[in-house]
Structure 1
Amino acid sequence: MALSIRNKNTEAAVRRLAARTGVGLTEAIDDAVSRRLAELQAIDTDDSSEALAARRERMRRSLDKLLADKDPTLILTDDDLYDEVGLPK
């Protein structure tokens, strides 16, 4: 099966990776993709309580940063958006 890479930056990066690791282009791509898939698989299967707590903490910090400079009165609640029977205002 053929694969055509039309992005010049991606092509250059693959060539640099192949040169630095001393392998061919196909092997460099195979290795990079395999490593990334392994990382994603590890994330998907890591459901330990510590991992979940760490993920929750990272999300909380990100949300805190996002909201740090926002006016709290600009945040809408359900009461602001919906009437007493649940229809949009």
Structure 2
Amino acid sequence: MNDLTGFQRDLLYVIAGGEEPHGLALKEELEEYYESEVHHGRLYPNLDTLVEKGLVDKGQLDQRTNYYTLTRRGRRELEARREWENQYVDF
């Protein structure tokens, strides 16, 4: 997880919060959070990186639409990140 960019970590959180979200849904969530446009050239290469690292699985809804889910490893990595964050931020 420590080799991911902040954008990639944010993608993991958004994927974890959805039910098999597709690329456009992820894009919309991130645009709302960042309050700026997220271009396809940024989104999809980063999703592919997460898939390559074994943190995310990519499935196909139809010929044009993919969906994304966290792998067990991806979920463990997010849990470890949350534990690490909680050491420093206690609200």
Greater fraction strand: 2
Same structural fold, with TM-score higher than 0.5 when normalized by the shorter chain = no
